Amino acid sequence: MKKKFKIEVVTTNEIEIEVEVDGTFDDRLKEFNKHFWSAEDLSEYLEGLASMIAMDGLNDFHEGYGYVLNNGKLPWDLRETPEEKDKIIFNITSMYEWDNIEVEELE
């Protein structure tokens, strides 16, 4: 006998991001907008990064954003070249994820 189920999984992510904003940020945003999608300001720019992290998990490198620190820790592939840390402007200080799962048996 086969049974069929509909399962709804709703995942909520809460991500805290520290970002270094200096005089070069406007140039960085213009370059990002040229190659990716158009972010109007820092808030929209960070929405994109948070969305990538929520979908793909926290990786060392996120396309369009570069390397990301995890609680101040340097990504594995940059540990041999710490001078690259100066180019990193994002630090993920915390990330929480939880799921709400509902299962319904279908007839």
Whether 55 is in a domain gets the answer yes
Report the percentage of the chain scoring pLDDT > 70: 89
| Torsion of Cα atoms, 45 then 37 then 39 then 49, to 10° | -10
> In sequence order, which ranges of the chain are alpha helices (DSSP H)?
25-35, 42-56
Residue 86 placed within a domain: yes
pLDDT, position 81 = 64
In a domain, 59, yes or no: yes
pLDDT band per the 50, 70, 90 thresholds, residue 63: confident
Residue 87 forms part of a structural domain = yes
4 assigned to some structural domain: no
CA atoms within 13 A on the CB side of 3: 6
Domain containing residue 71: 23-99
Tell me the average pLDDT of the chain: 84
Residue 86 main-chain phi, psi, to 5 deg = -65, -20
Q: How many domains does the chain have?
A: 1
